[in-house]
Amino acid sequence: MLDSNLSTAQLILISIIPVLFAIVLHEVAHGWAAYRLGDRTAMMLGRLSLNPVKHIDPIGTILVPAILILTVNFAFGWAKPVPIDWRNFKNPKRDTALVAIAGPAANLAMAFGWGLIAAIASILPAGLAQFSQPLLNMAFIGVFFNVLLMVFNLIPVPPTDGGRIAVSLLPPTAGNLLSKVEPFGLVLLLLLIFTGVLWQFIIPVIQTISALIFSLFGV
């Protein structure tokens, strides 16, 4: 498990790599899926790059995580959304859903990757504890944060990926009605985050999925 004796500064330091990878690759996955389905917008704007600077959102990547770490010792955030031009898709409803699911799918893949790293770190010789323990802490954060980002983004409230998937899959009338939530969706989600209401519903799901991943790798 994550070392409970970590200071806030240590927690921030070991969170940087897994958090940046989680949010950057999430957005790159959206752009890559859109590119494969016929939309070159993200590629032309340089958003298929792994350079974190191109994906930083002042609120989601800096402000929100900083506030949460300082107040509840817990990190959460997101990157600047990748621009998508849905008009370039041959099958807009289907392709919109595929592009939306690409981000959470990337986070699930990364969670498994960090699970493998945790397994490797846990069997390193005791003489390498100065290296293996920080790596193990980083891997635990990597699994938990990627699962968190996946579950959060699958909430069916636009502008999350889950919201876009729901709008694409629902009948036109219901989909159009749900899409009208998007202008207020982010404010609603931020309100639920900072009041703690959202965590009561999704933390048990996140803990269950994370535990299954660690169990799969024998950690």
Q: What are the pLDDT digits (tens) for 135-177?
A: 998 999 999 999 999 999 999 988 899 999 999 989 888 888 8
Catalytic residue among 23, 27, 39, 160: 27
Residue 132 lies in a domain: yes
Residue 1 lies in a domain: no
Q: Is the pLDDT of residue 134 over 90?
A: no
Distance CA 167, CA 34 (A): 17
Name the pTM for this structure. Answer: 0.88
Residue 190 lies in a domain: yes
Distance CA 66, CA 136 (A): 23
Residue 189 lies in a domain: yes
Long-range interactions of 204-213: CB distance < 8 A, separation 24+? 205/151, 206/144, 206/147, 206/148, 206/151, 209/111, 209/147, 209/150, 209/151, 210/111, 210/143, 210/144, 210/147, 213/111, 213/112, 213/115, 213/143, 213/147
Residue 73 lies in a domain: yes
Range of the domain at 211: 8-216
Q: Structurally, how many domains does the chain consist of?
A: 1
Residue 2 lies in a domain: no
Distance CA 175, CA 25 (A): 28
Active site residue 27: yes
Query: 54-63, 80-89, 113-122, 197-206: which has the minimum mean pLDDT?
Result: 54-63
